[in-house]
């Protein structure tokens, strides 16, 4: 088990410090990263919490999964590794058209 946890179903009013306080009773919290919308700055309703040990992370999952925080039941689980957003090697640039050029004068041919 890893030390990084996914925390979902968060209230949009929750803060990093609120999450820090909720997880501290179960072990030392290394980092809290609340995910926010780039344009509005508003919470996206989920976060990642990194504990200092796998044992602390397991305790936090057991204690907080389904527990209510700010009136909402939390979803707490081990965070999965981020998958690449593409499914293969990057594609090359497109080639030129296939139409040839127009004749410049009436008698010229390609």
Structure tokens at 14: 């929750």
CATH number of 4-78: 3.30.70.330
pLDDT at res. 86 = 66
Domain edges within the chain:
4-78
Residue 81: name the closest of 37, 35, 48, 46 by CA.
48
User: In angstroms, rounded to a whole number, what is the distance separating the alpha carbons of residues 10 and 75?
Assistant: 8
Per-residue pLDDT of the chain (110 residues; tens, 9 = 90+): 689 999 999 999 999 999 999 999 999 999 999 999 999 988 899 999 999 999 999 999 999 999 999 999 999 999 988 777 766 666 655 555 556 666 666 665 65
Quickly list DSSP for 4-43. Answer: EEEEES--TT--HHHHHHHHGGGS-EEEEEEEE-TTT--E
């Amino acid at each position: 088990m890893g030390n990084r946890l996914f925390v979902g179903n968060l209230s949009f009013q929750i803060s990093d410090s609120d999450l820090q306080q909720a997880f501290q009773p179960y072990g030392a919290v290394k980092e809290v990263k609340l995910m926010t919308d780039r344009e509005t700055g508003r919470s996206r309703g989920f976060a990642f919490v990194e504990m200092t040990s796998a044992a602390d992370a397991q305790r936090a999952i057991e204690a907080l999964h389904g527990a209510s925080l700010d009136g909402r039941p939390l979803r707490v689980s081990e965070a999965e590794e981020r998958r690449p957003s593409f499914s293969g090697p990057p594609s090359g640039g497109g080639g030129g058209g296939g139409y040839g050029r127009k004749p410049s004068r009436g008698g010229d041919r390609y």
